A = this chain, B = another copy of it.
Amino acid sequence: MLDERSKKVLYAVIQCYINTPGPVGSRVVTKKYHFGLSPATIRNIMSDLEEMGYLSQPHTSAGRIPTDSGYRFYVDSLSAEKQLVNNVLTAELNKKFELIKKDINSFLDDASKMLSELSHYIGITMSPNTGMTTLRKIELLKYRDNRLAVILFTDEGIIQNRIVPVVPDISQRELNRIAEYINSRFKGRSLDEIKRLILKEMTKEKVLCDSLISEAIRICRNAFSAAPGNIYISGLSEVLRLPEFCDINRIRELLQTLEAKHIIVNLLDNIADSEGTQVLIGAENILDEMRQFSLVAATYKEGSRPMGTIAIIGPRRMNYLETISIVDSTAQFITKLLS
């Protein structure tokens, strides 16, 4: 459908445009890439590419800029070269992350900074939604008179604590029994699952009226409400260097979106379902405010279960090859760390 020569011209235009924004004309293409063709021929080809929807003209008698479909075509043809860059990056990542004894949250904070440093775009990392993590062990510790600290140990190495109100006269021994009960029944299940099971249990056993069990259920109900995953965003200042961010209103829109973190969390959660590294180019984004940007996202896993998502947001005129590689190998790197 697209002959080899046209492809080469398309890629050339895209690469030119990525390097220096602003419409790219037929002359620069002939100068930078030696196809052995004259500007006139290139013009004809570019005209064809425009008809096919891969290029567009901001105004008559200006050069061409890639459309979203143009980028898409380019990105889809990239997978082959990707692996190559990946290997180089992975080596670099290993160097950067020598000291990782930290907990996962501050680790992800650093990771988002690293994403933005490497790419010069916006780096985003999300910690696993705790509802997905599996319980290894629960501990109940009396804290103040009417307060209980619930410590959840998960298989993923995440430790969480919640403070739960509790009847004042319960003893530590009773708490231990409750913890034991929970451990034996729910170990190895995800927190979300446990919460569901607990709710079922409630209706069943309330006839029993065992005050200890009912207190246990009450505690669990409070404790297993999943904490929303944290999200870390870095590189905002980085991205303001780019010429596409000369419009204040566009910046504000983006910032507004990024500040409403739950929106981003949702966005990335949806992506998390699909395999591999996802690329959303411009208008492919569901969010209106993101239409001017592209998003590259991947999930990191623990074993085979997806845990969290990392992503990079940049201009549509993004260095896709590099960015995809960075996201890809960082996700793989985190996955390896978690196992």
Contacts and interface: CB of A to CB of B under 8 A. Distances in A.
A256 B234 CA distance: 10
A252 interface: yes
A139 B159 CA distance: 14
A53 interface: no
Contact of A255 (B159, B240, B256): B240
A132 interface: no
Contact of A236 (B137, B153, B241, B259): B259
Contacts of A103: 161-163
Interface string A146-180: 00010101000101011101000000000000000
Interface stretch (A12-20, A59-67, A243-251): A243-251
B161 A157 contact: no
Contact of A149 (B149, B151, B246, B251): B151
Interface string A123-138: 0000000000000010
| Contact residues on A (Cβ < 8 Å of other chain), bracket | 20 to 34
A239 to B, nearest CB: 9
Contacts of A264: none
A259 B237 contact: yes
Contacts of A256: 237
Contacts of A163: 101, 103, 157, 159
A97 interface: no
B159 A149 contact: yes
Nearest to A255: B237
A234 B248 contact: no
Contacts of A251: 240, 248, 251
A187 to B, nearest CB: 14
Contacts of A259: 234-237
Nearest to A152: B161
Interface string A212-233: 0000000000000000000000
A151 B157 contact: no
Nearest to A139: B141
Contacts of A240: 248, 251-252, 255
A73 interface: no
A141 B149 contact: no
Nearest to A162: B103
A33 interface: no
A260 to B, nearest CB: 9
Interface in A58-109: 101, 103
A35 interface: no
A143 interface: yes
Contacts of A149: 151, 153, 159
Contacts of A139: 139, 141, 151
A252 B235 CA distance: 10
A255 B137 CA distance: 42
Nearest to A233: B259
22 contacts: A101-B163, A101-B165, A103-B162, A103-B163, A137-B143, A139-B151, A143-B159, A149-B151, A151-B151, A151-B161, A159-B163, A161-B161, A236-B236, A236-B259, A237-B255, A237-B256, A240-B248, A240-B251, A241-B252, A246-B248, A248-B251, A251-B251
